[in-house]
Amino acid sequence: MPLDPAQRHQIEQDAITAAWEADRLAACDAAIALLREIADLDHDDDGDVIIGADADGHNDLMSRIAAFLVTNDQ
């Protein structure tokens, strides 16, 4: 039996929602991975994370965090 337009619309909306939720879960997984890397970094005497940079002032972790935020800021 063919779907009526309302059913078809609901199926389309459900598919869009599922895709959005999958994207958000993937972003959460990426954020958790970045946080785990930060947690593994060295800490100073106050317990603050020490995020080092190379001689040119570049920091791969900070660059990846910035890129993550740009990509996932919704």
In tens, the pLDDT along 13-23 reads 999 999 999 99
Backbone dihedral region of 57: left (phi > 0), alpha (psi from -120 to 50 degrees) or beta?
left
Tokens of residue 70, six digits? 């740009």
Record the pTM: 0.63
Q: State the pLDDT at residue 34.
A: 86
The answer, yes or no, to whether residue 62 has pLDDT greater than 90, is: no
Higher-scoring residue by pLDDT: 35, 41: 35
Which residue do the tokens 């619309």 mark?
A: 9
CA distance 59 to 48: 17
* Total length of the chain: 74
